[in-house]
Structures are given as C-alpha cells and as structure tokens.
Amino acid sequence: MLRKLLHKAGELIMTKTAPQTTEIQYLQRKIGQWLGSKYRHDQIDGERYYLGFHDILHRKRTMIGKDGEPVEVHNVPNEKIVDNLYADMVDTKNNYLLSQPVTFVTENDTFQKELDKIIDSNFLLKLKNIGEGSLNCGISYLYPYYNESGELKFKVFAGHSILPFWVDDEHDEAEMYVRYYEQEKKNSITDEIEKRIEIYTTQGIDHYILVGNTLMIDKDNPHEDYFTKDGVAYTWGDKIPLIPFRYNKFEQPLLRRCKSLQDAINLMTSDFCNNMQDDVRTTILVLENYDGENLGELREKLALYGAIKVRSESGARGDVRTLRIEVDANNYNAILALLKQAMVQNCRSFDSANLRLGGSPNNTQIQSFYMSMDLDANGQIVHFNFALEKLFYFIKSHLKAIGKGDFMDEKVKVVFNKDMMISESEIMNNLINAGIRIPNKLLLEQCTFINDVDEAMKLLEEEDSKLVDALDPYANVQNKSANQSSKTNKAAESKLTKGLGK
C-alpha cells in the first residue's frame, strides 16, 4: 500500500545524478546573496528583538572631540534599558489567534478519529510556535517527516533558515528549498562550528557543508530519502514536504512596522535614567580660586573625600557652585506615551491599559478595542488556511499509505478559536431576556474556584430541598399524617387477616 501511494523512487541513490558544476555555482551564488541579504537580516532581527537583544545594548555615549568628530566617553552614565514592547505585541497577537486549540472538523467520522490522533496537543503547540515564528520572520515552515519508528512527526523551521526557490511570483509552489543551519562539528575537540546546507527536492534531501562560499558534498551523508521501507526509497510524488506559513502576503516580519518606535522607546527610557542620575560625574562645577588646576584631580578628590579646597586671595573670595539642568519627567512620560500608542497602532495590536481605564465596558466597546488586531488576524488566517490545506495532503497520503482509508477527497474545516475578552454578565443577561436557561452544571463548570462540580450540584439539590420545606410548612404535617394513616391501615389489615385465619 505504501508503495502504491508514495510513488516508488526506484534505485534512487544509484540512479541519482549529481548536480552539474553550473548548478552548484548557481546555488553557491544564491546562498551567498541570501545569507547577506537585508531581508534575512530583518528576519533575524525579528527573532533577536523578541528575545530582548535590542540595538540599545550596543549603545555608546559620545562627545564632540577636538577635531569635531564624536569620541566615546566612559566616565558618564550609559544605561541600556530594554522595554520590550515588541515581544508583548507578538505574544498578544499570537495568543489571540492560537492560544485556544484550533478545531479541525470533517464530516467523515473515520477520518475525524484518525485526524484527532495526529492533531494532538504536541501538534497544536508546534502550530502556536509557527504563529510566533511567522510574526517574527514573516514566514515559518512546517516539515512533516517519519521518525525511526515510522511515525509521522512534524518539525518547525525558522523563516531565516530557509531559502525557497519559488516557481511563481505568488509563491504558491517551490521547485526546491535550501535550509541553512550551524552545528558543532562531530568528533571535534575545539568546538568547531560547521555550516551545513540541506537541499529539499521532490527526490529527497541532499546534504552539503558550506566552506567559505563553496558547497562541499557531505561524504558521510550525501543524500537522505524522505522514507524507506524494506530497503526501498519513497517520495511524496511531486510534492516537497516543506509547508510555508505566512504572516502576510509580502512575508514581512512584524518588526519592520515598529523597529524605529521600539528603538525610540528604549532610547528615551535610557536617556531619562541617565539624566536622572545625580553624582559628581554629571554635575557641572563652577570654581572660583580653586586650589589646583587639574580638573581630573578635582573630580577624584571630590569623589574620594566629598570636599575640595578653595582659597580667597586679594579680596577675591573662593567659591564652588553647580550648574544643573532640571529633568522634567512629564516631558518623557508624554513622549513615551505617544511612542507606545503609535507602536500598538502600527503593530495592529491591543492595548489592555485602555480597556482597564474604561471601567466595565460592554461587548461592543471591547470589540472596538480588538478591531485592528482582529482584522490583522483574519488576514493571517487566510494564509494559514492555505498552508493547512497543503498539510492535509501529506496527512491524507500518510493515512492511505498505512491502510487507514482513502480520504484524499475529504474536506477539513479549520476553526480558529480566537481568545477575546467578553463581558460575561452582558451575555448572561441577554440569554435570560431571550428566555434561554443555562443548566446549573454548565455554569458551575465556568467557576474556577469550584474543584468538584458534581459535589457542588449535590449540595445545591440539598439546599433546594430544604428551601422547599421551609417555604411550605404544611408539607411535613401532611407527610406525617399520610404516614400515620398508612401505618393504621396496615395494622387493621393485619388483625383482620389473623381473625380470618382463626
């Protein structure tokens, strides 16, 4: 069955011809251009900024030197503060779309059961990681593969590690993908790092080592098949098992929209801390009749003893005064507020601070706060649905190959359960006004402080029973009378029976 589906590749290793010299040269040139391209550097910057390694960390304090050129100075405060609002934007957008499990629904019950086995919690976690990667790099890749046990598994590749060779301008199909990564050289005692290249085609994966700008065939593992069984190599037909998940049409990282704003926020915060520091290195001293001329020595003595000597001569009185520029915190706060607001708008994200300031907003107001992020998420969903359709081809092919059934024509509906805050009280009131009653058990399940819902239901029933008895005081009297009457009748019947027996 596997042979019929995955298209036997024949004696793949024996019949495969090595790339021609011109092809290798072409690849070397393209890989070199890509590794140094601004597009790839932007992708790396997106991931770097998400992890908190911002440009402000390399900041140097400078002054104008004698020749008019900036000169680095080391005796002034140089704070390097990272206020990572960008990472918050990425997490907010990604969690809004993918923090809740994505639902995959099909009308075929058999296919649904098999699909649920593959789309497990591990896959959903990888899908969330893909969402994060697509925001940071503009694009992320999912690689379906078989492990050593023959199980279908998935790997996530960062966008900056893959060079696609697209067939069309819309980037729907690729003739091959090149993956670049670095790893420690095997059996190396010097921690030598090796630059490795993998070329993904319909025929499998070719392995190379990048030495300088030259591609060298990996002699230990020149070629890898996508799957082998009983010594026979198989492929996925005319499909390459590498699926791109795009954030937007242009595969543009989110950081491209807001890097200058994030850098400005870091700079303003750092400058504010620098200017607020009050010590002998930042205060301007005005000296009259100072006992000495070496200003460096003055600073040293002032820092060491906390005092300096001045003198009065020829009627001129010695004195020391300071000149200070007052720092207005309101100016910094105003600029920072504008920068952060602009960053939220440019990233098309959501500012929870505005929602908190609004008191208890209704659902209409909440939706207006989420509108920009929701529209951006809808655009991302379109690209993700396109990628998932490609993924389903490999899942269906796998199920057919292992004899679970032919589901190639089955449709799968994907539902992204967005995680939006709602006003639950407003929804409850709307349901009550519409005459809809929600079972108590469902309501109790939404209460996070209740550990045992069944026990809570039992207690509620007991309370309801006591409440009924309390509201109807004659119920107990009637019940007692009925019980007494029943006992009297039974006693009379018993005597009558004994009498007849005699």
pLDDT at residue 6 is higher than 60: no
Mean pLDDT in residue range 220-231: 90
Three-state DSSP at 209 gives strand
Which pLDDT score, from 0 to 100, does residue 306 have?
A: 65
Give the residue with greater pLDDT, 480 vs 310. 310
pLDDT digits (tens, 9 = 90+) for 331-358: 899 999 999 999 999 999 987 766 655 5
Tell me if 441 sits within 8 A of 457, measured CB to CB: yes
According to the 3-state scheme, what is the secondary structure of 465-495?
HHHHHHHCCHHHHHHHHHHHHHHHHHHHHHH
Query: What is the length of the chain?
Result: 502
**Rounded alpha-carbon distances, angstroms, from residue 374 to 132, 328, 341, 489:** 16, 38, 18, 74
Cα–Cα distance for residue pair 111/405, rounded to 1 Å: 8
pLDDT digits (tens, 9 = 90+) for 436-450: 777 777 677 667 677
Which pLDDT score, from 0 to 100, does residue 456 have?
A: 82
Cα–Cα distance for residue pair 183/75, rounded to 1 Å: 41
Mean pLDDT in residue range 85-108: 95
Mean pLDDT in residue range 158-163: 98
Tell me if 43 sits within 8 A of 253, measured CB to CB: yes
Which pLDDT score, from 0 to 100, does residue 430 have?
A: 67
What letter does residue 84 receive in the DSSP assignment? -
Cα–Cα distance for residue pair 455/449, rounded to 1 Å: 13
Cα–Cα distance for residue pair 129/385, rounded to 1 Å: 16
CA-derived radius of gyration, the chain? 37
Q: Which of 219, 176, 223, 241 is nearest to 30 (CA)?
A: 176
Token pair 């024509």: residue? 409
Which pLDDT score, from 0 to 100, does residue 315 have?
A: 63
pTM: 0.79
Which pLDDT score, from 0 to 100, does residue 425 have?
A: 61
283 pLDDT band (50/70/90 cuts)? low
Which pLDDT score, from 0 to 100, does residue 293 have?
A: 61
| Residues contacting residue 277 through CB under 8 Å, at least 6 positions apart | 77
Cα–Cα distance for residue pair 226/436, rounded to 1 Å: 55
pLDDT digits (tens, 9 = 90+) for 65-96: 777 788 888 878 899 999 999 999 999 999 99
Mean pLDDT estimate for the chain: 83
What beta strand segments (E) does 314-423 contain? 319-323, 413-415
Where is 89: in which H helix or E strand? helix 85-98
Cα angle for residues 80, 81, 85 (degrees, 5° grid): 140
Structure tokens at 341: 């607001």
Which pLDDT score, from 0 to 100, does residue 401 have?
A: 92
2 pLDDT band (50/70/90 cuts)? very low
pLDDT digits (tens, 9 = 90+) for 33-66: 999 999 999 999 999 999 999 999 999 988 777 7
Which pLDDT score, from 0 to 100, does residue 446 have?
A: 64
Distance of CA 168 to the CA centre of its chain: 30
Which pLDDT score, from 0 to 100, does residue 464 have?
A: 79
Helices 363-401 and 85-98 pack at an angle, to 10 degrees, of: 70
Mean pLDDT in residue range 232-259: 95
Using a 10 angstrom Cβ sphere, with 0-12 exposed, 13-18 middle and 19 or more buried, the burial of residue 337 is: exposed
405 pLDDT band (50/70/90 cuts)? very high
| Residues contacting residue 112 through CB under 8 Å, at least 6 positions apart | 105, 106
Cα–Cα distance for residue pair 151/388, rounded to 1 Å: 20
Tell me if 221 sits within 8 A of 242, measured CB to CB: no
Q: Which of 50, 53, 56 is nearest to 269 (CA)?
A: 56
What beta strand segments (E) does 12-88 contain? 62-64, 70-72
1 pLDDT band (50/70/90 cuts)? very low
Three-state DSSP at 233 gives strand
Q: Give percent above pLDDT 70 in the chain.
A: 78
Give the residue with greater pLDDT, 462 vs 287. 462
Mean pLDDT in residue range 7-33: 65
292 pLDDT band (50/70/90 cuts)? low
